[in-house]
Amino acid sequence: MQKLTVVLGVMGMAALSSATVSADAGCETVRMADPGWSDIAATNAVAGFLLTDMGYKPKVDTLAVPITFGGLKDGQVDVFLGNWMPAQQGFYDKFVANGDVVQLAKNLDGTEFTLAVPDYVWDAGVHDFADLNSFADKFDKKIYGIGSGAPANLSLQEIIKKNDFDLGQWKLIESSEQAMLAEVSRAVKKQRFITFLGWTPHPMNVQLKMHYLKGGEKYFGDTGSVYTLTRKGYAQACPNVGKLLTNLSFTQAMENSIMAAVVNNKVSNADAAKAWIKANPAVLEQWLDGVKTVDGQDALAAVKAKL
C-alpha cells in the first residue's frame, strides 16, 4: 500500500507537471491580423518577437479591418492589436458589444485620428472640417483616405452622404496607407491643397509639417485609445498567451521610435522591434510578469537570453 501511494504520488506530480507544461497545448500558433498600418506592423512585431522567444509561432495575415473582425468572430483570427476607438465604434457595436469578439485590454492611450492638412493649407485658414468646402476648388473636392472598408473611411463616407460640413459633393479617394502618404508627399512638393487621414502615433507626424482639423469629433472623437481584441474564449483556451496580451501595453514614443527606424534606417519591423526592446529591457518586467514559455519555463529569462 505504501509503495502504491508513492507511485500514485509520483504519477500525480507528473500529471501536474504535464498540465503546467501543456497549459497552452494547441496554442503554439498565434494567428494575428494586420490591416497594412505601420503602427500595427510595429506592435505585431513586438508581440511576435516575444512570442517567438517564448516558443510560439506567430502568424500575421494582412487583412482589411472588416475581414479581421469577421475572422475573430469565426475563430479564424486569434488576436488583433489594432482596435482603434472611437474610430471603430461601429465594428465594436456589431462584434464586441454582443460578445462575439472580446476586447481584452487597452494597449495604447492618447491617440488622434482624423482629417489633417499640410501646414500651408492650415496657414491659408483651413482649421476645421467646416472650412474645407470654402476651398473646394483648391482641394478638387477630394478627401484622401486609407484602405477600402476601414472604419475611418466609412465615417468619411457618412459625412459625404449626409452632406455634413457641406461636403456632399466631395469624393473619398480610398487607397493603402502608403499610397495615400505618397500622394500627400507629391502635393506638398507642389504646395497643392490636400486633406487626408492622419493619426498618431505614426512617422508622418515627424516627416510632414501637418495639422489636425477640429470639428469631426462626432465621427472621430477627440482623443482615443487602442485595444487588443481576441476571438471569443481565446484567453481561456490559451491562458499563457492571454496573460501576455493582457500585460502588453505600448507608448506613443515607443511606437514612433520603432516606426521611424523602419522608415529612416530601412530595417524590418522585426529588427526595429528587437532593437528597441534590447535598448529598453526594463519593459520586459511588466510584459512578461506571470508569463511562461510554451514549455512552462520562465518567459522573462528566456526572452532576455535571446537579447
pLDDT in tens, 113-137: 999 999 999 999 999 999 999 999 9
Dist. CA 238–CA 77, nearest whole Å: 14
pLDDT at 66: 95
The CATH number covering residue 59 comes to 3.40.190.10
> Do the domain assignments include residue 18?
no
The whole-number average pLDDT for the span 293-300 is 96
Is there a contact between 218 and 55 (Cβ–Cβ < 8 Å)?
no
Tell me: pLDDT of 14 over 80. Answer: no
Tell me: pLDDT of 48 over 60. Answer: yes
**Amino acid, res. 109:** D
pLDDT in tens, 156-166: 999 999 999 99
Dist. CA 243–CA 249, nearest whole Å: 12
Do residues 121 and 90 both lie within one domain? Answer: no
Dist. CA 68–CA 78, nearest whole Å: 10
> Do the domain assignments include residue 13?
no
pLDDT at 19: 39
Tell me: pLDDT of 2 over 50. Answer: no
> Do the domain assignments include residue 166?
yes
Q: For the chain, how many structural domains are there in total?
A: 2
Do residues 136 and 207 both lie within one domain? Answer: yes
Q: Where a domain ends, among 188, 218, 248?
A: 218
Dist. CA 238–CA 231, nearest whole Å: 11
Tell me: pLDDT of 22 over 60. Answer: no
Please tell me whether the overall predicted TM-score, pTM, comes out greater than 0.85 for this model. no
Do residues 93 and 42 both lie within one domain? Answer: yes
Do residues 103 and 116 both lie within one domain? Answer: no
Do residues 141 and 44 both lie within one domain? Answer: no
> Do the domain assignments include residue 10?
no
The CATH number covering residue 158 comes to 3.40.190.100
**Amino acid, res. 171:** K
Chain-centroid distance of CA 7 in Å reads 51
> Do the domain assignments include residue 208?
yes
Do residues 155 and 183 both lie within one domain? Answer: yes
pLDDT in tens, 227-276: 999 999 999 999 999 999 999 999 999 999 999 999 888 999 999 999 99
Do residues 166 and 234 both lie within one domain? Answer: no
pLDDT in tens, 84-118: 999 899 999 999 999 999 999 999 999 989 999 99
pLDDT in tens, 153-203: 999 999 999 999 999 999 999 999 999 999 999 999 999 999 999 999 998
pLDDT at 21: 46
Query: Structural domain of residue 159, as residue ranges?
Result: 112-218
Q: Where a domain ends, among 183, 218, 253?
A: 218
pLDDT at 221: 85
The whole-number average pLDDT for the span 150-154 is 92
pLDDT at 23: 57
Give 15's pLDDT tier (boundaries 50, 70, 90).
very low
Do residues 176 and 261 both lie within one domain? Answer: no
Q: Where a domain ends, among 160, 183, 218?
A: 218
Do residues 99 and 248 both lie within one domain? Answer: yes
Do residues 31 and 97 both lie within one domain? Answer: yes
Mean pLDDT score of the chain, rounded to an integer? Answer: 92
Dist. CA 269–CA 207, nearest whole Å: 18
Do residues 34 and 105 both lie within one domain? Answer: yes
pLDDT at 207: 87
Do residues 190 and 122 both lie within one domain? Answer: yes
Is there a contact between 113 and 220 (Cβ–Cβ < 8 Å)?
yes
SS3 of 90-157: the string is HHHHHHHCCCCEEEEEEEEEEEEEEEEEEHHHHHCCCCEHHHHHHHHHHHCCEEECCCCCCHHHHHHH
> Do the domain assignments include residue 6?
no
